[in-house]
Amino acid sequence: MGAQIHHLASNQRNPGVSFRPDWVENIRVNRSAVERRISTLAARRTVKKEWQAAWLLKAISLIDLTTLSGDDTPGRVQRLCAKARQPVRDDLLVALGMQNEHLTTGAVCVYHEMVPVAVKALEGSGIPVAAVSTGFPAGLSPLETRLAEIHASVAAGASEIDIVISRRYVLTANWQALYDEVAAYREACGEAHLKTILATGQLGSMTKVAKASMICMMAGADFIKTSTGMEKVNATQPVSLIMMRMIREYLHQTGYKIGFKPAGGISNAKTALQYMVLAKEELGNDWLQPDLLRFGASSLLGDIERQLEHFVTGHYSAANRHPMG
């Protein structure tokens, strides 16, 4: 039955399924096995030379270029959007034969207040605007306020909404409450895609991360995301492996492909490539496209551009030659 559903539904948006506590109760995580699997990534040689350049160009297309600072201004967001439109310098694009490929980042991610600025700055580019929502980063505002935030950001032009779950529901194993919350967020999003942030560094155990991942997908999430980027512990490869395995299980159970977004602490090209290799090996080539894999990052793009300049010229450049704005 799973294979038949997969054939019918694999390219459709996840509608969610009814609450299935048995899917959650049976989840167990073998921590030592997870750590052994991840250790193989660091031990391997990564892709090199022109293959590495190609992977890095692909990585750019997967970045949710992000600014989430209390001192964000319209000018800063406009500069970030300009970088999203043209993430690599012209001379490097020409040297790489990419000048006509219209390379952009996957999205621009901002607070609600900056959504209209970003929408206007990205007009005609096809780059979506993602808004963090639901009392980000803590998620402790009243539910009515959180839902109103989603409605407001969608009305302002955001086509992706990055929500934060209530961690207390995971810590107390109140899976029905978590399901109901995420389902309400999904309904509020309408046509906008829902990316659920688990804040994995605050969930207490890998098994809880796995169970929370499954609940969010059951409730209709389009993406599951590791972190807000503001916890003490953000994206890690062991946690990412667990979330990818849950995505694979959900695909097996329902036929629907769910996206994955590691966020927080992914600041260099080498780390990004490791995540891409993990996604390719665990989930397949479909997860090397921006509709199923994103990096929540800001400084990552600058390091990738430095690596590309090294490939073209043989020399590393200073970071200030590749500003974000």
- The full set of domain ranges for the chain reads 2-321
Residue 4 confidence (pLDDT) above 80: no
> Are the C-beta atoms of residues 66 and 296 closer than 8 Å to each other?
yes
Query: Mean pLDDT across the chain, nearest whole number?
Result: 93
280 labelled catalytic = no
Q: Which residues of 270-283 are buried (b: 16+ CB within 10 A; e: fewer)?
A: ebbbbbbbbbeebb
Number of alpha carbons in the 13 Å side-chain half-sphere of residue 211: 25
Residue 5 confidence (pLDDT) above 50: no
- The active-site residue out of 64, 162, 222, 303 is 162
- The active-site residue out of 83, 195, 208, 261 is 261
CA distance 101 to 114: 28
Collapsing DSSP states into helix, strand and coil, what is residue 169? helix
Pick the CATH number of 2-321 from 3.90.25.10, 3.20.20.70, 3.30.470.20, 3.40.50.300: 3.20.20.70
Cα torsion through 230, 234, 235, 240, rounded to 10: -120
CA distance 218 to 298: 30
pTM over cut 0.75: yes
211 labelled catalytic = no
pLDDT at 8: 44
Nearest partner of 277 among 264, 262, 267, 299, judged by Cα = 262
